[in-house]
Amino acid sequence: MREVAFIKQNKEKWLDFEKAIFGKELKNPDQLASLYTHLVNDLSYAQTYYPKSKTILYLNNLAAKAFQKIYKTKRQDKNRLVYFFKTEIPLIMYQYKRYVLYAFLIFGVFVGIGALSSAFDDSFIRLILGDDYVNKTLENIKNGDPVAIYKSGSNWGSFIGITLNNLRVCVVSVVYGVFGGFGTGYVLMENGIMLGAFQYMFQKEGVLWESVRGIWIHGAMEIFAIVISGSAGFIIGASILFPKTYSRITSFKTGLKTGVKVLLSVFPFIIAAGFLEGYITRYSNIMSNWLSVGIIVVTLSVISYYYIIYPHIVNKKQHKQQKLQQNAII
């Protein structure tokens, strides 16, 4: 069948489907699912016989909107906040998992650069961390408490101040994505080099383990969340540089919306990290190794599971439900 005939034959059906998806009148989920099945069949036909046609783009967008509406009309997730964290964010992380990988690779490279630069240049640590901070830390190390700087101030004051600063870093990382992702890369570079220099300073003084068992109580979740924010910035940057078949403004709007959602998802983890830093890290020197390491493992495992493992589980479950639904209709 020629493409013109294919479009003419199905045009009315597609227009009716558009009204069902974008209209104010809510359709029964089963009716939507039935329409969705027909649409998917048309999409498969178009992909097979008209691989370079704009009809594929039209049908693909329509199918995506249809699936979202079908899923949202399900009663199992009445709470929008629950749906956001339980389903929406994991699916976003799965779809954009390569940007998460890019963010970790870039951050890791600059951590290494920070450590190596510190090893070959004695003045580099002070250049990055500042003389005041380095002097205080060296003094604390001599006094037998390498992480004493985290004990300054009140619990709640430290918690609020640290949390606000970390939230600022995450927001800046995402906002800088509008510069094609290069601004986000700069934020990751800055923080990666700082972390590398910071940890090498403790290594140089022979107290690396003491610093790890203390600082990473809150640092595991804090650093991970900052890197995830970096991936959100890259999503925005990619939407500008690589709009694909969409107009650049449409692609940017979609990327910006997605990036902001990822940013919002890290807020609970940043708050949790701030709480740990304000209330728990200051007592690391009197904790047993088992307790401090246990906290680090648990916090790192929770955030790693949510952003790396859980998205695969949700995606697999969604595809399974979609197939079962289609088979039931057919």
Report whether pLDDT(119) > 90.
yes
- Looking at residue 179, its pLDDT comes to 95
- Looking at residue 12, its pLDDT comes to 80
The answer to whether the beta carbons of residues 251 and 239 sit under 8 Å apart is yes
List pLDDT tens digits, range 32-74. Answer: 666 677 777 888 888 888 887 878 888 887 777 666 665 555 5
Chain centre distance of CA 108: 16
- Looking at residue 75, its pLDDT comes to 47
For the chain, give the mean pLDDT: 86
Report whether pLDDT(298) > 70.
yes
The answer to whether the beta carbons of residues 279 and 151 sit under 8 Å apart is no
Neighbours of 74 (CB within 10 A): 11
Give the SS3 label for residue 122. coil
Delimit the domains of the chain by residue range: 3-77, 95-310
Q: What pTM value is reported for the model? A: 0.76
- Count of CA atoms in the C-beta half-sphere (13 A) of 210: 19
- Looking at residue 330, its pLDDT comes to 45
- Looking at residue 2, its pLDDT comes to 79
- Looking at residue 282, its pLDDT comes to 84
- Count of CA atoms in the C-beta half-sphere (13 A) of 238: 17
Report whether pLDDT(238) > 80.
yes
- Looking at residue 169, its pLDDT comes to 96
Q: What's the rounded mean pLDDT across residues 120-135?
A: 93
Distance separating alpha carbons of residues 30 and 321, to the nearest angstrom: 14
Report whether pLDDT(200) > 60.
yes
- Looking at residue 329, its pLDDT comes to 43
In a 10 Å sphere around its CB, with 0-12 CB exposed, 13-18 middle and 19+ buried, how is residue 282 labelled? Answer: buried
Distance separating alpha carbons of residues 21 and 91, to the nearest angstrom: 21
- Looking at residue 77, its pLDDT comes to 46
Distance separating alpha carbons of residues 158 and 278, to the nearest angstrom: 5
Least confident range from 154-158, 206-210, 231-235: namely: 154-158
More confident residue, 3 or 92: 92
- Looking at residue 76, its pLDDT comes to 47
Q: Please give the single-letter amino acid code of residue 135.
A: N
